[in-house]
Structure 1
Amino acid sequence: MPPNEGLTHLEQYKVEGSNVEFIGSNIDHSVKYNSAATEPAWQQDGGVGKTEGIKIWRIEQFQVIAWPPNRYGSFHEGDSYIVLRTFKASPDARELSYDLFFWLGKDTTMDEAGTAAYKTVELDEFLHGAAIQHREVQGSESRSFLALFPRLTILRGGAATGFNHVETSETSLLRLLQITSDGGRGIIVREVDPTWESLNEKDVFILDEGQKLTSWQGKSCSPMEKMQAATAISEIVNERQGKAEVEVLAQTDSRSSIVVKALGGTAESKVSSVSSAPKHPSHSQEDRRPKRLFRLSDASGALKFDPVKNGEKVTQSDFKSEDVFVYDSGYQIYVWQGNGASQQEKAKWLKVAEAYLRSLDGAWSTPVATVKEGREGLAFKSVLDV
């Protein structure tokens, strides 16, 4: 089925004769800004977005709750988060720029995901519409998101399941963390099943028994994985106020069998020679989809989603100010909002992008970003043809 089939009349919005003259106006933005200004989370430290740095919030019971800075880079697969990066696009830039992400764990609830998306839009309004918004899904994070942290740590549980942060007193704890270098995209730390069958020769693992931490180094692991495992252990020990014993074992050490046995194995258990870590989508030319460009327009009185290019070169001149365009670069979706696009077109960007991804086989978790005309950023420009 063509990727635009079934999307052409995604939902009929009759603009003609409707009372929408104030939507997208200064009055409309003023009302939305004043509403956003009532959210306590955005008033953190005198108002977010005023200084360079990163802020993270987790969605808990429809509320936006600040995530502790010492846990930045760690996310639970049962949760949804909002991440704001405030930065200067160049050393001499007068204005601050913003990357605004909402990250969805694979087990997050629909309510949490919906709240994260809604509050991300609200925060953008609080920032006067200056942010580039990103939708990130666990396991398919964009390079822009991964670049925010020295490593990305994915832990089990979440707010809805009553997750409690691990304390040093939990002597019965048995947790296994896998440290993997993901092909130059960064270091990923994942909580995996605490069984010897999770071990492999390619990666480093941390066996967390509460008051003891053991680094188990597969015989083919990389120096970077070893270093990041050591850093992760150091941070865990600091969280527990130094109340944890640490041991580092190479797979080839005779004592390394104690980790296998602690995980239910025996001296005869043979670990896999292949890494079990899921790989992020490749950015290689062989694996990417053909480039596609679509126009989202309500000029006819109904919201339509029409193909513009399929497998052809896409350049900046293909984007017209009066509409919204959905650009599939092959491994990431960009929703480009023209300055003259209607509010109806802009408001449906995420719904249309996700509907498009659902029409493709296995592509729903593809990263999605919305960019505004004149503020596209380097990531968007890098995937255009000259």
Structure 2
Amino acid sequence: MDEGYWQERASEINLYKSSDSSGKLNVEKIHTGVPDAKSLDTNDAFILDAGVGGIYVWIGKGCNPSERAKAMDWARQFLEKQMRPKWTQVVRVLEGAEPEAFTQWFGNWNEAKKPVQHQPKLFQVSNESGKLHVEEIADFYQEDLDGDDVMILDLFNTIYVWVGAGANKEEKEAAEATAKVCLKT
């Protein structure tokens, strides 16, 4: 699509803050046009009305349980109040797991909400050479799992230890110790 299309669509975009902190539902328009990603507050829920692009309900990590539970109901009420067709797409979006279909509506998403990237790491624990080695495997694939060794997959918040059928006792013990070191660091 060309630049003119997006400029025309920008005037249709509205961002609303949704809250029940006062004891009753309050939906307040906070922005018209291409919204600023910094407007999204982790303690609240927001409705992004992207016109023909649909409705998105963004739920911050710090929302209270009531706001989390009611967010989609608020979106349905919002559709009725705005007299939008019942078939209008409503997408629930969780903070930290925003799809591109949502982030495309924000002019500064990448600058404002860039997550810290943690690339998975794969380590091979082997004593094939006679000396125990723990070696990182770069640019790995499932085929890199060696049936004669122990492999450690570090996903930052989760660590998996894969024990090959041909792994020996020393490799298994070293893998456990290495996995514990990964957890600590």
Q: TM-score, normalised by structure 1?
A: 0.25
As a proportion of its length, which structure holds more helix? 2
